Structure 1
Amino acid sequence: MTLLLLAGTGEARAIALALAGRDVIASLAGATRAPTDLGVPTRSGGFDGPAGFTAFLAEHNITAVLDATHPYAARITARSAAICAAQDIPFLQYLRPPWTPDAGDHWTTIGAEEDAADLIPQGATVFLGTGRQTLSRFVNLQGRRVICRQIDPPEGPFPFPGGEFLVGRPPFSVAHETALFRRLAVDYLIVKNAGGEASRTKLIAARQLNIPVLMLARPDPGDWPCVSAFADARQWAEARC
């Protein structure tokens, strides 16, 4: 039995390390240039669409697929679930629980990146913790100072005026985030509700500094098998490789 682990999150790495020495292949989307070693055979880059993914499953005799990608990798998850169902290959999505606000948090949920401009005044300093993949959707934030943090150095200029890149590789402590937000004089924080403890630190820092947070809503869940407990995902994977 060969398990395909769709990775890219800290939980996926933990599962991969636990499965080291077993019949498992991990797959990364290739968004990060120097990803952390997963301890198992790993491929990087897309599958060239549904046909490429189907061919990969057959070529490598994949008998089960665990999707532990980012909660916002909705297209990858939907495609993988549909193809696995068509091929009668067991599929499971691990979807870590979303964050919920605590006392002192000032969160506003928005449905799309484009909605942020309606809530942020001109001249404000905005810190984007959403990554570079969806950066172009914030183009209507022109007139604000927009700071986008990403892991790798940028390959080109910021896509719209008034923006700047900040390079940094997580994890970041609460103290680091608090000092950073103070130094940058951040007025608003925009994040995806990714969940997880490692990246919660920026939300704690925002609470301590009384910074409003715009929280991008998660994609609608699919109708495929899904668990939110890490132990359940790991147990499922261990039984299939």
Structure 2
Amino acid sequence: MTHVLLLGGTTEARALAAVLAAGHRALRVTSSLAGRVAEPRLPAGEVRIGGFGGPEGLAAWLRAERVAAVVDATHPFAAAMSRNAAEAAAATGVPLLALRRPGWAPVPGDRWHRVPSLSSAARLLPSLGRRILLTSGRQGIGAFAHLDGLHFTARSVDPPEPPLPASLDVLLDRGPFTLDGERAVLREHRIDVLVTKDSGGAATAPKLTAARELGLPVVVVDRPPAPPGVPVAETVEAALTWLAGR
């Protein structure tokens, strides 16, 4: 059987796993999840949870499991895993594709402030408002821990760990989110600034519309580029076409 490794637990990764597992009996499909979410949504096919031990460990796994192709469908901000995948693929000669949904684009009425990092977002916030909705993931909340005089409402799937801002409410929730729900969050918590990573996709996009309706500034953290030399597909269909060519 031809063995395909899918990296990541994104919506696109699960959709790709479902198509491959259902329609290609000659394929062995393994999805690898980082294990950072306590109760992840499991994709079709085989699933492994946890790291590989850096690029060397991943390269050894690719050889041992006779992997024919790798699709890096990790979160657009999982830069370390993407680098490891690129190095392991180069070391083993296994073809590698990055599956990245397109980022968001502003529309008329948006008040976006693009920044290159969470630390840049933290430096900008005091000039924009006092009540902040953080939707940038629990692992990034520490970048705002030093800010006094601001109140944060942080939304994440699992509880965040220290360091944390002194004034903080935590909303435990998982997308997809609705526009009415996002309107309610912004109003109930009296939010005047939204912070988000440019994750793209429809599941978490309603917050951008709700912020636009209320005229709120949005701090958007730009995503890192894919590793150099790695081809990129923006859709599951394009990834299937690439796999068919392998």
Residues 10-19 or 20-29, more deviating: 20-29
Identify which of 92, 99, 102 aligns with 1:97.
Answer: 102
Q: TM-score, normalised by structure 2?
A: 0.91
Identify which of 228, 233, 243 aligns with 1:237.
Answer: 243
What CA distance in whole angstroms lies between the structure 2 residues aligned with 1:7 and 1:116? 26
Instruction: Indicate the residue corresponding to 1:150 in structure 2.
Output: 156
Partners of 2:70 and 2:97 within 8 A in 1: yes
The one-character-per-residue Cα deviations of 1:198-236 (angstroms, maximum 9, x if unpaired) are 111111111111111000011133221212233111332
Q: What does 1:52-201 align with in structure 2 at a 5 Å threshold?
A: 52-121=57-126, 124-154=130-160, 156=161, 159-201=164-206
What CA distance in whole angstroms lies between the structure 2 residues aligned with 1:83 and 1:106? 40
Structure 1 residue 9, shift from structure 2 partner: 0.8
Partners of 2:8 and 2:72 within 8 A in 1: yes
Identify which of 43, 50, 54 aligns with 2:55.
Answer: 50
Q: What does 1:9-24 align with in structure 2 at a 5 Å threshold?
A: 9-21=10-22, 22-24=27-29
Q: TM-score, normalised by structure 1?
A: 0.92
SS of the residue 2:12 aligns to: helix
Q: Say what the alpha-carbon RMSD is for the aligned residues.
A: 1.8
Partners of 2:138 and 2:158 within 8 A in 1: no
What CA distance in whole angstroms lies between the structure 1 residues aligned with 2:142 and 2:164? 7
Percent identity reads 38
Structure 1 residue 239, shift from structure 2 partner: 5.5
After TM superposition, which residue ranges in structure 1, 4 or more long, deviate above 3 angstroms? 237-240
Q: Count residues with an aligned counterpart.
A: 239
What CA distance in whole angstroms lies between the structure 2 residues aligned with 1:48 and 1:82? 13
Structure 1 residue 102, shift from structure 2 partner: 0.7
1:7 maps onto 2:8 in alignment: yes
Unaligned runs of 5+ in 2: none
Structure 1 residue 56, shift from structure 2 partner: 1.4
What CA distance in whole angstroms lies between the structure 2 residues aligned with 1:238 and 1:179? 45
What CA distance in whole angstroms lies between the structure 1 residues aligned with 2:180 and 2:240? 32
Aligned residue identity for 2:207: K
Aligned residue identity for 1:54: A
What CA distance in whole angstroms lies between the structure 2 residues aligned with 1:39 and 1:109? 36
